[in-house]
Amino acid sequence: MSDAPLNILRSVFGYEEFRSPQDEIIEELNAGRDALVLMPTGGGKSLCYQIPALLLEGVGVVVSPLIALMHDQVEALRQLGVEASYLNSTLNSEEARQTEAKLLSGELDLLYIAPERLIQNRTLDLLAKAKIALFAIDEAHCVSQWGHDFRSDYLQLSVLSALFPKVPRIALTATADERTRQEIIKRLSLEKAAVFISGFDRPNIQYRINQKDNTKRQLLHFLRTEHGNDAGIIYCLSRKKVESMAAWLCDEGFMALPYHAGLPAQLRRQHQNRFLREEGVIIVATIAFGMGIDKPDVRFVAHLDLPKSVEAYYQETGRAGRDGEPANAWMVYGLSDVIKLRQMLESSQAEEQFKRVEQHKLNAMLGLCEITSCRRHALLKYFDEENSEYCGNCDTCLRPVQTWDGTVAAQKVLSCVYRSGQRFGVNHIVDILLGKDTEKIKQFGHQNLRTFGIGTDLDGNQWRSVFRQLVARGYLAVDVAGFGGLHLTEQSRPLLKGNEKISLRKDVSSSTKTKGKSKGHKNKHNIKDEDAKLWQALRACRKALADEHGVPPYVIFHDATLMEMMEYKPTEDSQLLKVSGVGESKLEKYGAAFLAVIASINESAEIDNHTNVLAALSDGLSAETIAGQCKISIAAVYTELSREIAAGNLNLESVISFTEVELHLIQDTILIFDDPGREGMQLKPVFEALEGKYSHGVLRCVRASMSIGQVAPVRPSLS
């Protein structure tokens, strides 16, 4: 493979190395061959076609259904110095004409285009006159009629292989099971394409599913302890709940905005834009929100209602942490969710075959909720991917679930349901089990049942937990009429007869749930106290530049890039260029601004260090104590002290105590290697000659005292 792709990766995009299999995919396209790419969100899909588009002659045409995204995508490329443009219904005719002219004159590197626009004869004629480098078909799963994102326009994209047989095509998606994969290949005529499957794992996402007891209290605890100022998405099933939740969160001091299909388009757009452009905005949404959101720094996705399938759960939670930084997928679910969804499905008017598929999907989702082993393992297995059975970053791994033999309890429940006529809901059956004296019990004479009061060994909540698990696992079914009546199923017979055992999950109350200590709990970006000021300043600088250029902050730089700046504190262009995410174009545009921020914070930190260290020293404290007290490293303390010594403000003797022999040894060693007064003298050889017995900081202080000819009076050391 030539160096060209890597050079572009470094100079334009600012990344050091490719992530496998990006380089192989690029090689396929450069050689004029087709590719099908399955890569999880955040895996770096777009580079796979952007780099070949820059290398090959002509324009790279990107087909995407996400019109709302195109403006920001194109803007992000222009920030990198790439000639990019888009064609969709949001442009007026003059703007469209200008873009078309650029296309024909060969000025464009990349052109984003909506599928409905592409398949128009007029557009195809236009493309036939232009030089095309490649076609990239993004969100390729939209071609699948089985999926929930089906777009009929995608079916017609097969025309590309017929009209442009020599142009390489790449289809990309983040979600596609085996069947969808086959459909993509067939419908887009990609039989000859090399297939690249990168796996579905999103290791930076922590999966957590809690039992619902008090949704609002649980959510508030989660947000306050882990996501104080973070951007996130909260999913609810109904529009009404979306609105009430958003309003309530605002009352609680969060910046939360509602989003659902019932809101006026203008307001929806406004909320989406604020989510993209401002920091720390929470969107409360129905599933209508998400497709078309490419915000990399969403730190959490919370589900207050159960998604309908594992695919939906994976896709919705996948909107968190696209930048690869730690993120949470958090959900609460309970008995009522199980009953509600089971009921919706039972009473659906859909065809039997469709209903069976849906039933199967819901069962898989419920299975994921009730599982007592690693959630990630189960999630990936659903997509036919094998993974370790311990991921260390899901709730069941972090806090293993206790189980208990629920056979007898389940038998009591099933028998109670059977004897009361298989038409009552959970609450009434629990009353029978507990032997309660209620109106309804008397009305139906249920105090006379043999099962009346046989369940006093558990309390109401524990019984509800048993019911939830029995319904989730298919031992009890919900009536079609919609009143929540339960009846037995084929599956419950062996359990009831004692031919089968059942192990149940021991629910933990949410207040004692996973707190702290966990590996993935560093969601607050792990910022050390002394860096907090720099982090805030870097973010403020990014926000100001974003506002100035009318783009979302992450288009300027991702969080990960700012984190690296914070860590390495570059002081010049060449160092800044080494930070991942900083390419030549961005260095030129923003380098000076960020370097200035880092320099000013460094300076003020030095001034702070200086005054603090001197004050502490006058209190007679040791270097170690000063470092602890001023929250800086010991090396930084010695740097301050050596400067003071060199300036003649401080005696070596007042700082460090040596024996005469020790001091002479150090002084002699320094003299062997160099003149202590020389600018830039290296202490490393001295350090090594003294076998590391004295730290660089101590040596620096001795050297400073020698450089000004200070003859330190030696006092007897106690050691």
- Given a contact cutoff of 8 angstroms between Cβ atoms, the answer to whether 75 and 551 are in contact is yes
Task: Mark the segment that binds Zn ion (CB under 5 A) among 152-160, 259-267, 362-370, 390-398.
Answer: 390-398
CB atoms within 10 A of CB 17: 11
Structure tokens at 387: 């993974």
Q: Which is nearer to Zn ion, 374 or 582 (CB)?
A: 374
Q: What are phi and psi of 680, to 5 degrees?
A: 75, 20
Stretch that binds Zn ion, among 274-282, 386-394, 612-620, 696-704 (CB under 5 A): 386-394
User: Would you count residue 231 as binding Zn ion (CB under 5 A)?
Assistant: no
What residues form DSSP beta bridges with 111? 61, 85
Interface positions, 3-32, toward Zn ion (CB under 5 A): none
Which residue stretches of 107-214 are H helix? 115-118, 121-129, 152-155, 159-163, 178-187
Considering the complex, state which of residue 220 and residue 401 has its C-beta at the smaller distance from Zn ion.
401
Torsion angle of the four alpha carbons 147, 152, 154, 159, in this order, in degrees rounded to the nearest 10: 140
660: Cα separation from own chain's centroid: 59
Q: How far is the CB of 397 from Zn ion (least distance, A)?
A: 3
- CB 707 to Zn ion: min, Å: 58
Least distance CB 340 / Zn ion (angstroms) = 28
Told to check if 208 binds Zn ion by CB under 5 A, we report no
Interacting stretch for Zn ion, rule CB under 5 A, among 76-84, 110-118, 383-391, 517-525? 383-391
**CB 166, CB 85: distance < 8 Å:** no
Integer Cα distance of 306 and 366 in angstroms: 9
Least distance (Å) from Zn ion to the CB of residue 396?
Answer: 6
Cβ nearer to Zn ion, comparing 376 with 586: 376
- What residues between 509 and 548 interact with Zn ion by CB under 5 A? none
From the list 70, 242, 374, 686, which residue makes contact with Zn ion (rule: CB under 5 A)?
374
Instruction: Tell me how far, at minimum, the Cβ of 382 lies from Zn ion, in Å.
Output: 14
Q: Which is nearer to Zn ion, 394 or 706 (CB)?
A: 394
Residue found under tokens 């222009």 = 78
Q: Which stretch binds Zn ion (CB under 5 A): 15-23, 387-395, 484-492, 683-691?
A: 387-395
Residue 209 in contact with Zn ion, rule: CB under 5 A: no
> Segment contacting Zn ion (CB under 5 A): 157-165, 333-341, 375-383, 576-584?
375-383
Nearer to Zn ion, 201 or 573 (CB): 201
Backbone φ and ψ of 478, nearest 5°: -100, 140
Q: Is 172 in the site for Zn ion (CB under 5 A)?
A: no
Q: What is the dihedral of CA 199, 359, 421, 424, to 10 degrees?
A: 70
List CB contacts of 226: < 8 A, sequence separation 6 or more.
Answer: 300, 328, 521, 523, 524
Least distance (Å) from Zn ion to the CB of residue 341?
24
> Pattern 334-373, binding to Zn ion, x per CB under 5 A?
----------------------------------------
Which range binds Zn ion by CB under 5 A, 378-386, 389-397, 608-616, 623-631? 389-397
Judged by CB, which is closer to Zn ion: 48, or 394? 394
3-class DSSP state of 586: helix
Structure token pair of residue 232? 């996130």
Q: Which of helix, strand or coil describes residue 232?
A: strand
Under the phi-then-psi rule, with left for phi > 0, alpha for psi from -120 to 50, and beta for the rest, what region is 679?
beta
Determine if 380 is a binding residue for Zn ion (CB under 5 A): no
Q: How many amino acids of this chain bind Zn ion (CB under 5 A)?
A: 5
Cβ-contact 442, 523 below 8 angstroms: no
Q: Which residues lie below 8 Å from residue 431, measured CB to CB, with a gap of 6+? A: 438, 440, 441
Does 378 sit near Zn ion (CB under 5 A)? no
Among 304, 362, 366, 394, binds Zn ion (CB under 5 A): 394
User: Judged by CB, which is closer to Zn ion: 183, or 395?
Assistant: 395
Measured from the CB atom, the residue of 69 and 391 that comes closer to Zn ion is 391
Minimum CB distance to Zn ion, residue 154 (Å): 35
Residue 397 in contact with Zn ion, rule: CB under 5 A: yes
**Degrees, nearest 5: CA angle 169-174-175:** 110
391 binds Zn ion (CB under 5 A): yes
| Cα 254 to Cα 300: distance, rounded to the nearest angstrom | 14
Q: Give the Cα separation of 474 and 414 in Å (integer).
A: 12
Indicate the residue among 387 and 612 with the shorter CB distance to Zn ion: 387
Which CB atom, from 279 or from 370, has the smaller least distance to Zn ion? 370
Of 53-61, 106-114, 376-384, 638-646, which part binds Zn ion (CB under 5 A)?
376-384
Which residue, chain included where needed, has tokens 């690249």?
A: 196
Find out whether 310 and 368 touch, Cβ atoms under 8 Å.
yes
User: What span, in angstroms and rounded, lies between the C-alpha atoms of 22 and 1?
Assistant: 12
Between residues 389 and 675, which has the closer beta carbon with respect to Zn ion? 389
* Residue 478 CA from chain centroid, whole number: 36
CB of residue 399 to Zn ion, shortest distance in Å: 10
Q: How far is the CB of 321 from Zn ion (least distance, A)?
A: 16
Phi, psi of 331 (to 5 degrees): -145, 145
Q: In angstroms, give the least distance from the CB of 388 to Zn ion.
A: 8
| Residue 532 CB partners (closer than 8 Å, separation 6+) | none
Residue 202 binding Zn ion, by CB under 5 A = no
Interacting residues with Zn ion (CB under 5 A)? 374, 376, 391, 394, 397
